Amino acid sequence: MTVQEQDRATLRIGDHEWVLPVVAGTEGERALDIRTLRRETGLITFDPGFANSGSCESTITYIDGEHGILRYRGYDVEELAEQCEFVEVAYLLIHGSLPNHAQRAEFSRLLNLHSLVHEDMIHFFSHYPDRAHPMAILSAMVVSLSSFYPELGENRREDIDMTVTRVLSKLRTIAAFSYKKSLGEPIVYPRHDLKYCDNFLNMMFSSPVVKDPINPVLADALNKLLILHVDHEQNCSSTVVRAVGSAEANLYASISAGICALSGLLHGGANQHVIEMLIDIRANGGRVDSAIERAKDHKDSYRLMGFGHRVYKAYDPRARVAKQICKDVMAATGQLDPLLDIAQELEFKALADPYFQERNLYPNVDFYTGLTYRQMGIPTDMLTVMFAIGRLPGWVAQWLEMRGDGEPRIVRPRQIYTGPGKCSVIPIDQRP
């Protein structure tokens, strides 16, 4: 266990006192252990949104929002993005350590082996509406995997390892197939001779009449962007994955639920809305000052998308990396997006404004990632899908950690009931 008892706190209610242990993590986070609170006092805590509640111990991700620190298994996200490929970081989260050459080769072999989807599943794509959102298709297809690969139900370790590489590989294939479906183009099958990110780009943009080689700058950028999204502690979708998994639902069902959570505007959907915001500002003459003033007006519901974060009270470390990736991709393609100029002006002016400074509102990871994907040719409605591909190793790691917990418990929060008191049923013919 990484959490050890340090000291104790005393809770006083009237003439009664209760002692609560204070526990601490490896980086010094401290928490009150309230597991016996209701049994001993008859009370529960009230914490809407669980912003002050720790739901689990975890060895996966550490965040210090006040100082802008994000680490996976102890490694700074900036260093991993600079020196590793996405497949290596996925291995790190799932297995607990970075792979050596042999381990990476075997992991890559398994990813290639499981990259195809069952041919019967391909027929599903033709029956979705033409305008179906890719995230809806993605969640439905992932939960369908359990019907085609039910052996996970036996819960043997080898089955879980097989399923982990299967879902990591197949989700990428399903995402690319859903994009091709939206275009009305024939699907492109994965190739055994391409790396993970190269394979995805090829499935997305290759066709019977287009056989351009994969741009290594774009493949490198995709590796980095996916790494930035790999995990983010107990965020909404990861919490959903753990909650669904705590009911002993299989990995596919748990991941599908996480995809649904990620599709929300306040979670993974934010990068799509950043692009839409920048397009709207440009359509209105590029008036950045006007957008900032609207965001500051408490009577106006308008917000600057991609600014601020529930956890970070300093600059999101992922945003710095994402900004540089964006510039590198635009330099490599030789096509400058006018939205980048608007984004940079918006960032500069917002960070210089006392309103944003006092509220610790900095660009988050969503602010620049959408611009980069747009430059790579990935459409706006696919941006959240890209987030899901990156976040998948984190979801898998969270699910495995939850299943391996020595004290697994089904997630079941309490509530404070505020409805009417006991009522008596009035016969229907006497009701007003």
Does the annotation mark 64 as catalytic?
no
- CA proximity to 207, closest of 337, 377, 371: 377
Q: Note if 366 is an active site residue.
A: yes
The single residue of 7, 366, 381, 429 carrying the catalytic annotation is 366
Instruction: Spell out the residues 6+ positions from residue 67 whose beta carbon is closer than 8 angstroms to its own.
Output: 314
Residue 214 to residue 206: CA distance in whole angstroms: 9
CA distance 67 to 57: 21
Question: Residues with Cβ < 8 Å from 123, sequence gap 6 or more?
Answer: none
* Residue from 229, 232, 273, 309 carrying the catalytic annotation: 309
Sign of CA dihedral 172, 177, 180, 182: negative
Sign of dihedral through CA atoms 226, 232, 233, 238?
negative
Query: Residue 398's Cα: distance from chain center in Å?
Result: 12
Amino acid making up residue 39? R
In this structure, are residues 367 and 303 in contact, taking their beta carbons and an 8 Å threshold? no
Does the CA dihedral 395-83-225-50 come out positive or negative?
A: positive
Instruction: Give the residue numbers marked as catalytic.
Output: 309, 366
